[in-house]
Structure 1
Amino acid sequence: MSDYDAIIVGSGPNGLAAGITLVRQGWRVLLLEAKATVGGGMRTAELTLPGFRHDICSAIHPLGMGSPFFQSLPLADYGLRWIQPDLPLAHPLDDGTAVTLHRSVEETAANLGIDGSRYRRLFAPLVADWDKIAREFLGPLRLPRHPLAMAKLGLRAVWPTTLLAKTLFRTEPARALFAGLAGHSIMPLEWPLTAAFGLMLGTLAHKVGWPLPQGGSQSIADALAGFFTDLGGEIGLNHEVKSLAALPPARAVLLDVTPRQLLAIAGEELPAGYRRQLQKYRYGAGVFKVDWALSEPIPWRAEACRRAGTVHLGATLDEMALSERMIWRGEVAERPYTLVTQQSLFDDTRAPNGQHTGWAYCHVPHGSTVDMTAAIEAQVERFAPGFRDTILARHTMTTHDFQQYNANYIGGDINGGVQNWRQLFTRPVPRLNPYSTPLPHLFLCSAATPPGGGVHGMCGYHAAQSVLNKFT
């Protein structure tokens, strides 16, 4: 290998974003990936039967559509096509109905009864200010450029989900809808800051939708990689990096890894004090996932669920709060809060003609070995009687399978570390520049840096900007 200006390790959304940012500035960049394909959490494969294409990890992409960095790229020129489901989200209830999240704030409010006006007051200002909020929220902690817009978010974002939902809303459907959104935090809903996840995802649904990429999440990775290489970047596949010494010479090295891998790769080159800080980094709860090849669409009782790209399963706020609370006690719930997506309803490239795919996961304790297949399928059957009869084949992934698939998913934690108030903006350790390390040429660009998990590329973008600020 010849000399490069920068070496990037890892080809997830952040590694690719960092590479694109640097090559756009004329840097010679080599991106190394341990697997045979690029993508990190954006891969798609035939996991069950031939012709059924399943997203291995990420599936629905409000953050991808809403990312200021992705919006700056010509990804459509590289084959990326976004598909908007008829409904971003449906949340079925035990009475056979469902509460729905629409692209329109007004339509959503209209199906919330007496809570409609409260919902409108909560989300309408955030939707109006999202473009200002996004650049602040999806980056490192700093003095806000738009303090009034950030205040509208921040005053509610710091609340625990349970407190905000029970204080603001009077009806169970509205509370359940918000709790389902906030449940993406993978934290107990009684914890401070969990409301921020519900506010962000709800706002994104109204601003940009909850789209899916045609052909699967691999399409995002392929578009990013195609643009990167067209700009002159180089990609090396099947190249696992175990030490800094194994890398070719470069001005800067950017690692799309979490603290545990950083310690393994850099080792004794890092100062002892910094190593001790990295060792204190906390990883969060894991996930258990099931993919299905189906003979027909999931037979939801609530008609709205048949038009939604995403369906949240957990009939009440209290049920979901119990499920998420138990995980952090090392237990699993009989009725786990479950997230379901049904891409083939809107994208006919996902399954053979007339057949369908299903994708679902629930949260489990860190490193759990419990098989949650039966519990997840019971949750779906609860709201879609006859579902089990549609299953042609299934594929499951435990927390260990996720870590084997992607070394960043320690213990099945798909966010690269718990995103609580201690670690959301100070990840991986408290530093003025969270992307830098004590080694002047070494930087982190993973979800273990702000703004954390999700397919948005903003961690990589900000890390690359940090590199450019240092060397240019």
Structure 2
Amino acid sequence: MEAVDAIVIGAGHNGLVAANLLADAGWSVEVVEATPQAGGAVRSGHVTAPGYLSDLFSSFYPLGYASPVLKALDLREHGLEWTHAPDVFTHLLPDGRAATVSRDLETTMASMERFAAGDGERWRHAYEEWRAVSPQLLEALFRPFPPVRAGLDLARRLRAGGSLRLARRLMLSVRDLGSELFRGEGATLALAGCALHTDLSPEDAGGGVYGWLLAMLGQEVGWPVPVGGAQQITSALVRRLSERGGRITYGTPVTRVLVARGRAMGVRTADGRARRARRAVLADVPAPALYLDLVGARWLPPRVVQDLEFFRWDGATVKVDWAVNGRIPWRNPAAAGSGTVHLGADLNGLTRYAAHLATGEPPPDPFLLMGQMTTADGSRSPAGTESAWAYTHLPHRRHWTADEIAARVARMEAVMEEYAPGFGAMVVGRNVFSPAGLERENPSLVGGALGGGTAAAFQQLFLRPIPGLGRADTPVERLFLASASAHPGGGVHGVPGANAARAALARDRALTGRLYQAAVGAAHRAVYR
């Protein structure tokens, strides 16, 4: 049985980040991928019409652009280039108004001012508050939990009073946060639309931080896209890994993590072959799949198995890609220059939309998150045309009929027609990903869930994926969770992969003294005894 230092299960971006960091440390690494290609949810393809390139899953990358993990990999040296739409995003209201965030602060301020006198300056103030803490906040977000050094730096900067006020802000719903910061609906909707990139409603505690984070990152660095498609992120990671001697095996699902005496020793793949890992196994797969399917209850504390029964997925997703033979004819031209457009609801409409999802009902009036990819990157389709997409959420369930999906797509296109009359006549190609279709393309998108598990506060930080497993370490020695099911969750930033690689390296360095193993073992016994 051929052996390598580390086996990484899954060639999504987190698995590729982990593999690169281990290869940087001199480890021999094999990435074993179930599908025929790398990338997971960071891929592109021509699925609508000739000449139109679509990002199949994720598209805009403020977290990836800001991530110190991806920056440290220096992917520009491996072909990755970023570009921006003229404006970051626009939220279109049913009454015809528009709230636009631009990288140009004065442009954003003018847009917010149209909703309420003084909201332009209030936006500036909110942005200045963000800039004062953003380096420490991002450092805390992008490091293993607990982020001791970043937390101490932030506490020193803010002192006791400021730290308490920030802690309170992080617990607010996006509706409450918006009402405290602004007077008009436009600025609050800018935050709320961003928060609904997750599965949280405008009323959920802790939801405000997501809206604040994405909106302020948009103001600070934009929501950039890779020139030539999302696939360029994956291709840069693959090239970098190859240059360092790592290899990827495609079309080879892992069926079991091989465990002996409580240690991960390697994996077994669907072809019956056993692959040995001398030092570590890292898994870029959802937590339930890793623990229940690949490891099995035999090797887990009973409480882990019980807690996994309460693991909560984020919502299902329907995504439509369109090839449009001209620029989208927006009723309000404010949307024309935005890479991302939020449409279909005002603030109360977003609450009603989320309430339907919470009660297991498809919302009758879908809220759309929509992307204009050629507006952001002119290489995506012929000049004067648009490669576009939109997605909306459904309640999380594993089975949807073809008729239900067709009805949902019809409602989505009706919303587009309402905000851009004549849009339907301009569509020359279409591709639909149902929740099942998303999972078929990427098995980690279980039931069309994009985030690796809910973004709700009860499944974040040290509670992600379940209580007591808030770090990359697992109850199985030498096995590490490297997917979006781990802290800090979904988004293309590479942090779960980096955290898993760092944990594997730390465990390896600590072997002689056994201090690392003893500490992890004691922690697990304390939680699961």
Task: Pick the TM interval, shorter chain.
Answer: over 0.9
1:335-350 to structure 2, matched below 5 A, reads 335-350=365-380
Contact 1:403 1:411 in 2 (8 A): yes
Moved more, 43-52 or 2-11: 43-52
1:259 is matched with 287
Contact 2:85 2:377 in 1 (8 A): no
Deviation digits for residues 358-379 of structure 1, max 9, x if unmatched? 1100111102623211111122
Contact 1:324 1:337 in 2 (8 A): no
1:156 is matched with 169
The alignment's TM-score, normalised by the length of structure 2, stands at 0.86
Taking the aligned partners of 1:443 and 1:359, their CA distance within structure 2 comes to: 35
1:127-166 to structure 2, matched below 5 A, reads 127-142=131-146, 143=148, 144-148=151-155, 151=163, 153-166=166-179
Contact 1:97 1:301 in 2 (8 A): no
Tell me, what secondary structure is at the counterpart of 2:255?
A: coil
1:363 is matched with 393
Letter in 2 for 1:169: F
2:440 is matched with 404
1:243 is matched with 256
1:471 equivalenced with 2:501 (yes/no): no
Contact 1:70 1:457 in 2 (8 A): yes
Would the alpha carbon gap of residues 432 and 375 (structure 1) be closer, same or farther in structure 2, given more than 3 Å must change?
Answer: closer
For residue 252 of structure 1, report the CA deviation from its aligned partner: 0.5
Taking the aligned partners of 1:325 and 1:40, their CA distance within structure 2 comes to: 30
For residue 353 of structure 1, report the CA deviation from its aligned partner: 4.2
Letter in 1 for 2:465: P
Would the alpha carbon gap of residues 196 and 215 (structure 1) be closer, same or farther in structure 2, given more than 3 Å must change?
Answer: same
Deviation digits for residues 196-229 of structure 1, max 9, x if unmatched? 1101101211222101111111110000111111
Contact 1:133 1:146 in 2 (8 A): no
Would the alpha carbon gap of residues 432 and 376 (structure 1) be closer, same or farther in structure 2, given more than 3 Å must change?
Answer: closer
Tell me, what secondary structure is at the counterpart of 2:459?
A: coil
1:196 is matched with 209
1:328 equivalenced with 2:384 (yes/no): no
1:164-313 to structure 2, matched below 5 A, reads 164-245=177-258, 246=268, 247-250=274-277, 251-262=279-290, 263-267=292-296, 268-313=298-343
For residue 272 of structure 1, report the CA deviation from its aligned partner: 2.9
Would the alpha carbon gap of residues 155 and 222 (structure 1) be closer, same or farther in structure 2, given more than 3 Å must change?
Answer: same
Contact 2:18 2:497 in 1 (8 A): yes
1:27 is matched with 27
Moved more, 65-74 or 162-171: 162-171
Among candidates 471, 493, 507, match of residue 456 of structure 1:
493
Contact 2:322 2:429 in 1 (8 A): yes
Among candidates 481, 484, 488, match of residue 447 of structure 1:
484
Contact 1:332 1:364 in 2 (8 A): yes
Letter in 2 for 1:42: V
RMSD of aligned Cα (Å): 1.8
Contact 1:34 1:240 in 2 (8 A): yes
Contact 1:290 1:394 in 2 (8 A): yes
For residue 33 of structure 1, report the CA deviation from its aligned partner: 0.9
1:375-390 to structure 2, matched below 5 A, reads 375-390=411-426
Tell me, what secondary structure is at the counterpart of 1:401?
A: helix
Contact 2:43 2:55 in 1 (8 A): yes
Taking the aligned partners of 1:103 and 1:155, their CA distance within structure 2 comes to: 27
For residue 153 of structure 1, report the CA deviation from its aligned partner: 4.8
Letter in 1 for 2:428: L
For residue 444 of structure 1, report the CA deviation from its aligned partner: 0.5
Contact 1:298 1:306 in 2 (8 A): yes
Moved more, 371-380 or 91-100: 91-100
Moved more, 379-388 or 423-432: 423-432
Taking the aligned partners of 2:391 and 2:469, their CA distance within structure 1 comes to: 36
Moved more, 342-351 or 322-331: 342-351
Deviation digits for residues 134-165 of structure 1, max 9, x if unmatched? 11023343241323468475331210112222
For residue 277 of structure 1, report the CA deviation from its aligned partner: 2.2
Contact 1:136 1:145 in 2 (8 A): no
Moved more, 208-217 or 106-115: 106-115
Moved more, 104-113 or 336-345: 104-113
Contact 1:44 1:216 in 2 (8 A): yes
Tell me, what secondary structure is at the counterpart of 1:248?
A: strand
Taking the aligned partners of 2:415 and 2:443, their CA distance within structure 1 comes to: 30
For residue 95 of structure 1, report the CA deviation from its aligned partner: 4.2
Deviation digits for residues 299-350 of structure 1, max 9, x if unmatched? 1122221111000113411111211221111112222111010111232322
Percent identical pairs in the alignment equals 35
Letter in 1 for 2:78: Y
Letter in 1 for 2:450: I
For residue 83 of structure 1, report the CA deviation from its aligned partner: 0.7
Letter in 2 for 1:28: S
For residue 433 of structure 1, report the CA deviation from its aligned partner: 5.3
Moved more, 337-346 or 154-163: 154-163
1:81 is matched with 81
Letter in 1 for 2:248: I
User: Which runs of 5 or more residues in structure 1 are unaligned?
Assistant: none
Taking the aligned partners of 1:219 and 1:258, their CA distance within structure 2 comes to: 24
Taking the aligned partners of 2:179 and 2:372, their CA distance within structure 1 comes to: 30
- Asked which structure has the greater CA Rg, the reply is 2
Letter in 2 for 1:350: R
